[in-house]
Amino acid sequence: MTASDRAVAMARVVNEASLDKLGENIVALDVSIPFALTDIFMFVSARNERQVVAIADGIEEKMLENKYKLLRKEGKSTARWILMDYGDMIIHVMHEQERVFYDIERLWKDAPVVKL
């Protein structure tokens, strides 16, 4: 695995925060080799829009507590797919229907899974 130690530590914080808000199907992929802009793509599913927002807010809070700075966040107004950019990691908090429909993980199927 070539993801940085910092990115793996961030993924573990995100995993914990997501589980606290009942996030489901949490997957972290090491995309550092095929995608030079970041080390890890992380995917979290939620059952409804309210939960999508709650998970994203919980992640943001835990990451701030651990001194990780959010660079960009998009999608909160529709609450179907919130994208959070932390530089070393990009987090996708998605409504389960959006996740199935877009199937983004298929694009990165060759990327190794980061052990959380």
Asked whether the predicted pLDDT for residue 1 surpasses 60, the reply is: no
Res 8: pLDDT: 96
- Stated pTM of the model: 0.93
Asked whether the predicted pLDDT for residue 35 surpasses 90, the reply is: no
Lowest-pLDDT range of 19-28, 30-39, 82-91? 30-39
Task: Report domain extents, the chain.
Answer: 5-108
CATH 3.40.50.150, applies to 5-108: no
- The residues pairing with 83 across neighbouring beta strands, listed in sequence order, are 74, 92
